[in-house]
């Protein structure tokens, strides 16, 4: 009797425990079903605007009651960061910045002349672009290491697209005016991106696309330098590899002077050797920095003393000296090409920002501080706007000069000012000495900078990590190489967007099982030890949105998986009977009417075969829309907080 009474008590306790757990699960299900209504899109926009306004109100309220001078200084420090960090500037920092500035100036002068010729501009425009933009950025920029000036990729981009509008050989003045106009418009676009917080536009060019684009552009730039290296007078204006190699082949089979090639290759070997030595011994970093300038000086002296220009060696000849001339009057807004120039400016603005921000963030992470992307866009934009008024073309952060600046031990942006002042002195007093500079040497300087733009290791890493990303990388590379610079960019963007669309319309789905000894449910393919629950199929959609683009695909995939799970054996007997299908919606952030309709069709299909549908862990917007559409009541309100609780409902279904 006592034993029977004890068993009865245990049975009652067990039933009570089950009832308590059942009640707790019901309560938690009600938490999900009775969640407050999520904010509407208009409410989200209004809240965002309110927070932005309150943020600025707090800033201004903290300054209320302060003297006018304090208010003015706070405003100036926000616009010109140099006024903030300049207060703690010391003589020790200046010594480091002075050394770094002089070091990058020695690299900047020959590079600037070379990049100007790459952009089909007179050499002085490259030097102009290394004077005003670095000073403006030093006053307004936030990166401590970045070196501003002309860069190879932007120079190629401008020349390859602009020469389709105006021939720089037949109308150099008109071509230069369009370049200055494009610089102004690019600066306006960049500033607008920063003011409107449109930094995501820069992200349209993915990392993989940039790696491929820059590598392709580097090879195209290198092929373009064969004109100067071989002393070719007439060369193709096209940038694709086929046209360039055809032009080189034709030129080599005509009479040509080997002195240019010998001179250029000799100093190219010298520059690359110093670069190799500086990498082997970090203390000799300055060797690679000054070698381009040393090459220019020595080759100029060599040509002058031997009068090699009389024997076929092509030289720069006249380089206009003096301060940057004002160029506001050269901005031609009445040009019939202004629409095309605006398109070119937009492309150049995005590419220049992408390069500059990538360079700035790389070195900021090394130094351990954060770089504000929106402020960077505004500072680069204003740099180019002011630059367009002072005969400069598009400037941005240079990776090679920034790396040298960092290696030289720069502390602040004063190194940019030192560099600009050094270039300014050269413009004022030393341009006449550049008359006998061989063009082959400028080609050698540009060629020496190109290996750093071709990152084979990163391309291989992209291949190992993501094949579709590598496709975008390869598309950009071969597009630039065999078509044109803009086609390469277009191919990369199209492939990147296609990847996003493909993921959206064909989202992955995974079958979940329970990990032994835990309450976790994971993908049975990723975790082979996960155990499937008999009679239950748990499916998770790997997409943030169930919408018109993917809803039918997901529904058909689930029905197919349920059918395969219930596949018959050789004797025609069903090996498994699915009673309950649980949809884990933890990844699902939102759903539209097409998604809801597909769930209704899924529920009808399962019900017709004696199966039931349950939903676990729905997000706020998802459960709200399911309730508003009355779908929750249609499938019996089987909504649960967790997958485990949904599995527990099998016995009650």
pLDDT in tens, 192-214: 998 887 777 777 778 899 899 98
Give burial (CB, 10 Å; 0-12/13-18/19+) of 200: exposed
Name every residue whose Cβ is closer than 8 Å to that of residue 271 and which is 6 or more positions away in sequence. Answer: 288, 291, 292, 295, 444, 445, 448
In this prediction, residues 161-183 reach a mean pLDDT of 94
Question: Domains, the chain, ranges and CATH?
Answer: 82-498 (no CATH), 507-651 (3.30.750.24)
Lowest-confidence segment of 220-229, 253-262, 406-415, 450-459 by average pLDDT: 253-262
Q: Is the pLDDT of residue 57 over 90?
A: no
Strand pairing of 590-591 and 545-546? parallel
Tokens of 263: 């001179």
Q: What is the DSSP letter of 145?
A: S
Q: Is the pLDDT of residue 447 over 60?
A: yes
Name every residue whose Cβ is closer than 8 Å to that of residue 151 and which is 6 or more positions away in sequence. Answer: 115, 352, 355, 395, 396, 397, 398, 399
In this prediction, residues 350-357 reach a mean pLDDT of 89
Q: Is the pLDDT of residue 469 over 70?
A: yes
Average pLDDT for the chain: 87
Separation CA 78–CA 140 (nearest Å): 9
Q: What pLDDT, on a 0 to 100 scale, did the predictor assign at position 64? A: 63
Separation CA 250–CA 369 (nearest Å): 53
SS3 category, 581: strand
Lowest-confidence segment of 233-242, 379-388, 578-587, 589-598 by average pLDDT: 233-242
Q: What pLDDT, on a 0 to 100 scale, did the predictor assign at position 76? A: 81
Q: What pLDDT, on a 0 to 100 scale, did the predictor assign at position 18? A: 45
The string of pLDDT tens digits covering residues 567-618 is 644 444 556 688 999 999 999 999 999 999 999 999 999 999 889 999 999 9
Q: Is the pLDDT of residue 3 over 70?
A: no
Of 494 and 72, which is predicted with more confidence?
494
In this prediction, residues 160-168 reach a mean pLDDT of 92
Q: What pLDDT, on a 0 to 100 scale, did the predictor assign at position 571? A: 45
Q: What is the DSSP letter of 396?
A: E
């Amino acid at each position: 009797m006592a034993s029977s009474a004890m068993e009865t008590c245990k049975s009652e306790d067990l039933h009570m425990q089950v009832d308590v757990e059942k009640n707790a699960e019901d309560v938690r299900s009600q938490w999900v079903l009775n969640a407050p209504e999520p904010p509407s899109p208009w409410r989200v926009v209004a809240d965002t605007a309110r927070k932005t306004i309150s943020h600025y109100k707090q800033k201004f309220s903290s300054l209320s009651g302060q003297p006018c001078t304090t208010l003015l200084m706070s405003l100036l420090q926000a616009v010109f960061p140099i006024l903030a960090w300049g207060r703690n500037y010391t003589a020790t920092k200046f010594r480091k910045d002075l050394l770094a500035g002089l070091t990058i100036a020695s690299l900047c002068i020959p590079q600037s002349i070379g990049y100007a010729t790459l952009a089909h501009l007179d050499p002085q425009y490259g030097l102009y672009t290394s004077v005003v933009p670095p000073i403006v950025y030093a006053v307004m920029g936030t990166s401590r290491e970045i070196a501003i000036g002309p860069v190879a990729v932007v120079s190629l981009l401008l020349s390859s697209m602009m020469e389709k509008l105006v021939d720089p050989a037949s109308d150099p003045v008109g071509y230069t005016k369009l370049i200055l106009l494009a610089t102004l418009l690019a600066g306006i676009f960049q500033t607008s991106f920063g003011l409107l917080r449109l930094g995501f536009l820069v992200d349209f060019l993915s990392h993989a696309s940039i790696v491929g684009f820059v590598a392709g552009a580097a090879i195209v730039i290198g092929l373009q330098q064969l004109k100067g290296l071989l002393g070719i007078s007439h060369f193709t204006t096209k940038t694709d590899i086929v046209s360039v190699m055809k032009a080189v082949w034709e030129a080599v089979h005509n009479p040509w002077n080997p002195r240019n090639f010998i001179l250029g290759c000799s100093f190219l070997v010298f520059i690359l050797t110093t670069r190799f030595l500086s990498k082997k011994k970090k203390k000799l970093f300055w060797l690679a920095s000054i070698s381009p300038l040393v090459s220019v000086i020595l080759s100029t002296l060599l040509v002058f003393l031997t009068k090699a220009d009389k024997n076929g060696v092509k030289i720069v000849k006249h380089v206009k000296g003096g301060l940057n001339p004002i160029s506001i009057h050269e901005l031609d807004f009445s040009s019939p090409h202004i629409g095309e120039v605006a398109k070119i400016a937009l492309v150049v603005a995005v590419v220049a920002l992408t390069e500059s921000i990538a360079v700035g963030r790389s070195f900021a992470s090394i130094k351990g501080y954060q770089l504000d992307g929106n402020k960077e866009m505004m500072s680069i934009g204003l740099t180019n706007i002011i630059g367009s008024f002072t005969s400069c073309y598009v400037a941005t952060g240079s990776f090679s000069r920034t790396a040298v600046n960092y290696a030289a031990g720069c502390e602040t942006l004063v190194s940019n000012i030192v560099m600009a002042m050094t270039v300014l002195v050269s413009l004022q007093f030393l341009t006449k000495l550049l008359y006998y500079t061989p063009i082959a040497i400028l080609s050698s300087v540009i060629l020496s900078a190109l290996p750093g733009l071709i990152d084979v290791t990163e391309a291989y890493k992209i291949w190992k990590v993501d094949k579709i990303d590598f496709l975008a990388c390869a598309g950009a590379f071969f597009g630039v190489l065999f078509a044109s610079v803009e086609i390469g960019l277009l191919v990369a963007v199209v492939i990147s967007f296609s990847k996003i669309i493909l993921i959206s319309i064909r989202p992955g789905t995974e079958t979940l099982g329970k990990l032994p000894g835990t309450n976790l449910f994971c993908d049975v393919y990723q975790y082979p030890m996960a155990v499937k629950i008999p009679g239950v199929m748990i499916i998770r959609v790997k997409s943030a949105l169930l919408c018109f683009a993917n809803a039918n695909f997901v529904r058909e995939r689930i029905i197919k998986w349920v059918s395969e799970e219930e596949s018959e054996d050789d004797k025609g007997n069903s090996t498994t009977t699915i009673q309950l299908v649980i949809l884990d919606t933890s990844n699902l952030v939102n759903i539209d009417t097409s998604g809801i309709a597909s769930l209704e069709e899924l529920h009808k299909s399962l019900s017709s075969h004696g199966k039931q549908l349950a939903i676990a862990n729905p997000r706020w917007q998802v459960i709200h829309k399911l309730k508003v559409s009355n779908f929750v009541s249609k499938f019996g309100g089987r909504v649960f907080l967790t997958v485990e609780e949904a599995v527990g409902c099998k016995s009650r279904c």
